[in-house]
Structure 1
Amino acid sequence: MSRLSFFYILMVFVITGCQSKSHLSKVVTIPNTHIELFHSKTNGDYKVTIYTPNKPTPDGGWPIIYLLDGDSYFLATKQIITNQTCERCIIQEGIIVAIDYFNQTRRDVDFLPKPENYVFEVLPNKQINLASRYGGADAFYDFLTQELKPEIEKRYVINPNQQAIFGHSYGGLFNLYIFLTKPVVFNTYVISSPSLWFSDGYMFSVLSKYLLSHQHSLNQPVNLLISVGGAEQSLLPVEQALPEQQRKLLLKHRQNRKMVDYAKQLFTRLKQAKLNQLAISYKVYPEQSHKTAAIIALQDSIQLNFKVK
């Protein structure tokens, strides 16, 4: 068995519902889905959930989307793809590869880059938000592109022009980081509510270097979707009823992080650069929080990447 082999396969992805009186359970399987433990030679073990349509491979190969924080978004992605495809629909089915962890999450170290001078965050209550683990984004990119992606492409015929990666929050920051610092290997990069506050706006210095050194062209067409929830820098109506001190601290925290302002600034600078072959879009989802904005961004990314050609 090679170093890139899978140790074992969990063939059934289950949802169990318990009946309190009878103590009986009903197991529901998700068709055409399996979970695998993928052992990375450098990064350790990953939980990878894969959905493949039970249909012949289309001409040109399958569209595919890689999901960061895969457990959070796999079911929604599967439902969107399978429920919104038909003979006259605008999207077609494709493959889903959802990446997560079996045990303790490593998303902080995997998704966050390593600034030369890391700046911790001071919260409104004067406490320090210091990431205990960070700086593994380069290694995680290598895992994606040198181990996981090649293995998927050995198994399935993938459309080279319909490959997307979805990331939200830290995942959105990661997608921006690899777009700015690595060779382009995806056609669509989804940057949903990126944590641009990380290390005092570190990614804007990365962006400046990219724009200074880049030749204002890409080696292939790329879609860049930047989005944010409209309420990520303010309070939701339900939060207005919180105790005054709690409400003030929460509002100050969101204002300090500047989620909406930073996302708009990112879009503006990239748009003004007029990079050839870059199709960039920016969406603010009204009245959506940091958590709820992700699903709408997911819907938009699926409609773009799985669009019938």
Structure 2
Amino acid sequence: MSEMLHGCLPDTEYFETTAQSGHRYGVWVTAPPGYANSADPLPLIYVMDGNWSVGLTAPLIVTQADPFLTIAPYIQVSVGYAGEEAADWAQLRNRDLVPPGEPVSDEMVATVTSARDTGAMTQEEADSYLAKLADTHADVFLDFLTAELHPRLRSRFRVSESGHGLFGYSYGGLFALYAWLRAAPFATFGAGTPGVASTDSQIFELINALPDNEQNRADQRLHITLNEAELLGDIPIYRGLARNVLSVVEKLHGKGRSQDLSSSLLHDTHVTGLQASFLSYLKTCHVR
């Protein structure tokens, strides 16, 4: 492992890789305290939106050494975009993190239009954002993580056979929820404010397709977080999203999945909640 990345993020190694889809990704691999002095294999925790999230989540790797916590050792794998595409991560994530066939809600169109009208987005950025939402491929990206990236990491680092995790926030949280519903090969899933922006979301179809009170499902835990400001604040798209997430939780309980599900309401906003959501996931799902 390299000792330092651009003067920060100790024990983080960065590399770039091209998927079979032709898309290129940047990958940050952050080792825990004591990794160099140990021979033990460790589980990987994949974190989405690496261009944004790595600086907020990778430093929490030291919580494994916090005597007041019981967080188990892990290696963090933050996945984002490389080269010139890194600047466009907020649009590209729509392509990779949103399930195929996910409808674009009227509230989302109104929000993007408002952002354009107030100068928060240019016309080009707004068009690109909505275009990516109209052509989404979370299934392809999930296959890249599990069938391409994971084997490469196993050949390069000391990786355990099991216990791996997947965490995402906002559309990354939607992706984590989608991956859990598809029984992707992870032990734990953290879905921070999952971006279920439409009442007609593909997520509800996947939940409806689950068998009731399934007994043979692998032990895969799902942790969902929301923020108070999303639920109770005055921004319509966040209130609607929060209502949809609560509907997801209710439907999962109705399907007999209470034993697989945990949740937490955080004292943050949609923007500030990423780090708190990741820590909540670690403290709930990845413990010794």
Instruction: Report the Cα distance in structure 2 between the residues aligned to 1:253 and 1:88, rounded to whole angstroms.
Output: 37
Contact 2:180 2:220 in 1 (8 A): no
Partner of 2:130: 131
Aligned-partner SS, 2:140: helix
Q: How big is each residue's C-alpha offset from its partner over 1:12-70, in whole Å with a ceiling of 9 and x where there is no partner?
A: 521xxxxxxxxxxxxx2433211101111224210000112323133xx2132100001
Partner of 2:229: 231
Query: Structure 1 residue aligned with 2:39, among 46, 54, 57?
Result: 57
Q: Quick one: percent identity of the two aligned structures?
A: 22
**Structure 1 residue 97 and structure 2 residue 95: aligned?**
no
Instruction: Report the Cα distance in structure 2 between the residues aligned to 1:305 and 1:54, rounded to whole angstroms.
Output: 25
> After superposition, where does 1:1-309 map in structure 2 within 5 Å?
13-14=5-6, 28-52=7-31, 53-58=35-40, 61-85=41-65, 89-102=69-82, 103=85, 104-105=88-89, 106-115=92-101, 118-122=103-107, 127=113, 131-133=130-132, 134-180=135-181, 182-198=182-198, 200-209=200-209, 211=210, 213=211, 216-235=214-233, 251-255=235-239, 258-275=240-257, 278-286=259-267, 288-308=268-288
Q: Which moved more, 1:103-112 or 1:88-97?
A: 88-97
Instruction: Sort the Cα spacing of 1:156 and 1:219 in 2 relative to 1 into closer, same or farther, 3 A.
Output: farther
Of Structure 1 and Structure 2, which has the larger fraction of its residues in strand?
Answer: 1
Instruction: Sort the Cα spacing of 1:68 and 1:203 in 2 relative to 1 into closer, same or farther, 3 A.
Output: same
Aligned-partner SS, 1:232: helix
Aligned-partner SS, 1:151: helix
Q: How big is each residue's C-alpha offset from its partner over 1:87-142, in whole Å with a ceiling of 9 and x where there is no partner?
A: 675124321100001223221101112228x4442455895987201321111011
Supply the AA of the counterpart residue of 1:281: S
Contact 2:3 2:11 in 1 (8 A): no
Q: How big is each residue's C-alpha offset from its partner over 1:238-272, in whole Å with a ceiling of 9 and x where there is no partner?
A: xxxxxxxxxxxx634444xx222222221121123
Q: Which runs of at least 4 in structure 1 moved beyond 4 Å after TM superposition?
A: 9-12, 86-89, 122-130
Of Structure 1 and Structure 2, which has the larger fraction of its residues in helix?
Answer: 2
Structure 1 gap ranges (5+)? 1-8, 15-27, 236-249
Alpha-carbon RMSD across the aligned residues, in angstroms, is: 2.9
Contact 1:165 1:188 in 2 (8 A): yes
Contact 1:63 1:306 in 2 (8 A): no
Contact 1:43 1:143 in 2 (8 A): no
Instruction: Sort the Cα spacing of 1:218 and 1:70 in 2 relative to 1 into closer, same or farther, 3 A.
Output: farther
Partner of 1:21: none
Aligned-partner SS, 1:233: helix
Partner of 1:240: none
Contact 2:199 2:244 in 1 (8 A): no
Partner of 2:122: none
Aligned length: 263
TM-score between the two structures when normalised by the length of structure 2: 0.80
TM-score between the two structures when normalised by the length of structure 1: 0.75
Instruction: Report the Cα distance in structure 2 between the residues aligned to 1:190 and 1:125, rounded to whole angstroms.
Output: 26
Instruction: Sort the Cα spacing of 1:54 and 1:92 in 2 relative to 1 into closer, same or farther, 3 A.
Output: farther
Q: Which has the larger radius of gyration?
A: 1
Instruction: Report the Cα distance in structure 2 between the residues aligned to 1:224 and 1:272, rounded to whole angstroms.
Output: 15
Instruction: Report the Cα distance in structure 1 between the residues aligned to 2:15 and 2:212, rounded to whole angstroms.
Output: 38
Contact 2:48 2:168 in 1 (8 A): yes
Q: Which moved more, 1:75-84 or 1:39-48?
A: 75-84
Instruction: Report the Cα distance in structure 2 between the residues aligned to 1:296 and 1:155, rounded to whole angstroms.
Output: 30
